[in-house]
Structure 1
Amino acid sequence: MPYRHAYWWLLALFPLIAVAFWPGYLGQFGEAPFALHAHGITATAWLALLTLQSWSIHARRAVWHRAAGLATFAILPMFAAAGPLALQGMAMLWRTQADPFHAAFGAQLVIADMIAGPSVVLMATYAFVHRRRVGVHAAAMLATALLVLPPIVGRLLPLIPGFPVGGWAGFGGFRLAFQLAEALTLLIAIALAARTPAARAGFGFAALATAAQMVGFETIGTTPIWGRCVVLLTEIPAEPTAVAAAFVAAALLWWAWQTVPPHAIRNAAQVRAAGDAAP
C-alpha cells in the first residue's frame, strides 16, 4: 500500500493544532461562536477520519477502513455545511470592522477559505470515483489534509523566536506567515505530486488550490469589487446556504460512489479470473 507512514504525519498535526489554535479558539472555547465551533469540530473530525483510514488499511483492518469510508457520507457534508457559516462569520467581522485584524485581512481570508473548503469536497469526490485505484485514491484523500496545513503553520510561525512579528503588514507578521505557510504547502504538494503518476491528480489539485489561495489573497481579495461581494455574503441567509452546501457534498459523494458499483467490480474480476484460467 502507498503512503505507509502517512497516518503518523496526520497524527502529528493534532498537537500542532492544539498549539496553533489555543490563543484564538481553544483557549476561549466557551466564548467562541457556533460557526467557529462547527468549522473547527468538523475539520478536526475530517482529519481524524483520514488518520483512521490511513492506519486501518495498513494495519489490515479492512472492516474499519470500510466503516471510515462510509462515515465520509456524514462527516464531509457536515464539513461542507460548516464552511458557509464560518465564511459568513469572517465576512461579518470584516464588514463591521470588529477588530483591526479582521478589518485588515478579513476579506482576503474569505477568498482563501472559499477556495479551500470546496477543494476538499472535490478531492474527496475524486477519491471516491477512483477508490479501486489504490494509489490514486490514497493520494486524493491525503491531499485534502494539505489544505488544512496553512492555517496551522501560519499560526505557528510567529511563535518561532526571531520571526519578524512586526514585519510585513504588521499584526504579528500575519501576512508574511500566511504566504510562507502557503508556499511550504505548495512545495510539499508539488513534491508529492511528482513522486508517482498516481499522485499527480490529487496532490496536483492541492497544489493548484494552494497557489490560487496565495494569488487570490494578494489580488482579488484586496479589490473594491470583492469587498462588495463580501458585504453581499453577509446578507445571504446562512442556514439555507449551509444546508445547500451539505446537500451538494452528499450528492457528489453519492454520485461518485455509484460510478463504480460493487457488482460491476465483481463481474470484472470474474472475467479477468476466467481469462487467466483459460488455456
Structure 2
Amino acid sequence: MPYRHAWMFIVALIVATVFAFQRSYFTVLSTASPGFHAHGITASLWMLLLLVQSWTPQRGLIAVHRTLGLATFVAIPLFAAGAMGVIHSMAAGTLGGNPFYALWGARLAFIDAVAFGALLYAAGMALRHRHDVRLHAGYMLSTALPLVSPVLGRVLAQTVPGFVVRGPQDFPIFGWSAQCANLCAGIVALWLWRRDPRAGRPWAVAAAVIAVQIVGFETLAKSPSWIAAFLTTAGLPLTWLMLFGLMAGSVAVALGWTCPARRDNRSAILA
C-alpha cells in the first residue's frame, strides 16, 4: 500500500492543531462564534477520518476502509459548510473591529477560499480514482495540505523567535508566519510529486494551488474588490453560506463517485 507512514503525519497534524489553536479557540470555546465552532468540529472530524483511512489499509483492514470511506459523503459536505462558517466569522470579526482580522482577515480568507475549492476537487478526484490505489490515496491525503498553512502558521507565531506574536503590537508580522507555512506545505507537495511523478498528479495540483495562495496572499487578497467581497459575507446569513458549502461539497463527492475513471485491476481497492 502507498504512503505507509501517512497516518503518522496526520497524528502530528492533529497534535499541532490542538497546540496552534489552544489560545484562540480551545480555551475560549464558550465565546467562540458559531462559524468557528462549525469549522472546528467539521475539520476535526475530517482529520480523524483521514487518520483512520490512512491507517486501516496498512493493517490489511480493507473492509473497514471501504465501510468508513462511505463517511466521506457526509464528512466532505460538512467540512465545506464549516469552511464557509469560518470565512463568515472572520468577516464579522473584521467589521466588528477585531485588530487581528482588520489586518489579516481578508488575506486569510483568500487562502481559505482557494483551499475550499482545492479540497472539494481533491475529494472528488479521490472518489473518481477509487480503483487506483496511488491516485486515490494521493488525492485523499492531499486534502490535509490546506490544513497545514493555518496550523503551522500559528505554531510559528507562538514558538519561533522573530515570528512570535505576543500581542496586538506584533500582529503585523503574522503574515511572515502564514507565508512560511504555505512555503513548507508547497515544498512537501513538490517533494511528494517528484518522488513518484507518474502517480504524483495529486501533489502537482496541490503544489499549484499553494503557489496561487502564496502569490494571491500578496496581490489579489489585498485588492479593494476582494476586500469588499469578503466583507459582504459578514452581512449574509451564516446558514445561507453554510448551506452553499454543504451543497458544493455534496456535488463534489457525487460527481466523483458517479464519474469513475477507468478501472485498473492491478491496483483496485474499492468495489
TM superposition score normalised by structure 2 = 0.90
Which residue identity does 2:127 align to in structure 1? F
Shift of 1:210: 1.2
Matched with 2:39 is 39
TM superposition score normalised by structure 1 = 0.88
Tell me if structure 2 keeps the 8 A contact 1:107–1:222: yes
Pair 1:115 & 2:114 matched: yes
Mark the CA change 1:225 to 1:10 in structure 2 (over 3 Å): closer, same or farther.
same
CA distance in 2, matches of 1:229, 1:202: 30
Deviation track 1:214-269 (CA, whole Å, cap 9, x = no partner) reads 111111111112222122222333312321321222122122212239xx96xx96
Matched with 2:269 is none
Matched with 2:268 is none
Which residue identity does 2:73 align to in structure 1? F
How many corresponding residue pairs? 263
Shift of 1:194: 1.1
Deviation track 1:50-91 (CA, whole Å, cap 9, x = no partner) reads 111111111111121012210001111011111222111111
Can you give the 5+ residue segments of structure 2 that lack an aligned partner in the other structure?
266-271
Deviation track 1:92-146 (CA, whole Å, cap 9, x = no partner) reads 21223x2211111111111111011221111010111011111111111111111
Matched with 2:151 is 152
Tell me if structure 2 keeps the 8 A contact 1:158–1:172: no
Deviation track 1:169-189 (CA, whole Å, cap 9, x = no partner) reads 931731111111111111111
CA distance in 1, matches of 2:165, 2:140: 37
Mark the CA change 1:161 to 1:260 in structure 2 (over 3 Å): closer, same or farther.
closer
CA distance in 1, matches of 2:105, 2:63: 43
Mark the CA change 1:107 to 1:260 in structure 2 (over 3 Å): closer, same or farther.
closer
Deviation track 1:138-170 (CA, whole Å, cap 9, x = no partner) reads 111111111101111111113335334379x93
Matched with 1:137 is 136
Which residue identity does 1:132 align to in structure 2? H
Matched with 1:48 is 48
Matched with 1:26 is 26
Tell me if structure 1 keeps the 8 A contact 2:17–2:151: yes
CA distance in 2, matches of 1:132, 1:254: 16
Mark the CA change 1:146 to 1:222 in structure 2 (over 3 Å): closer, same or farther.
same
Which residue identity does 2:240 align to in structure 1? P
Percent identity between matched residues is: 32
Matched with 1:105 is 104
**Which sits farther off after the overlay, 83-92 or 134-143?**
83-92
CA distance in 2, matches of 1:12, 1:110: 25
For the aligned residue pairs, the C-alpha RMSD in angstroms reads 2.1
Tell me if structure 1 keeps the 8 A contact 2:163–2:174: no
Mark the CA change 1:4 to 1:154 in structure 2 (over 3 Å): closer, same or farther.
same
Shift >4 Å, 4+ stretches: none
Which residue identity does 1:103 align to in structure 2? A
Matched with 1:222 is 222
SS at match of 1:24: coil
After the TM superposition, which residues 1-279 of structure 1 pair with which residues of structure 2 at under 5 Å, given as runs? Answer: 1-96=1-96, 98-165=97-164, 170-171=170-171, 173-260=173-260
CA distance in 2, matches of 1:166, 1:156: 10
Which residue identity does 1:19 align to in structure 2? F
Which residue identity does 1:135 align to in structure 2? R
CA distance in 2, matches of 1:166, 1:53: 36
Tell me if structure 1 keeps the 8 A contact 2:156–2:163: no
Can you give the 5+ residue segments of structure 1 that lack an aligned partner in the other structure?
270-279
SS at match of 2:195: coil
CA distance in 2, matches of 1:18, 1:231: 28
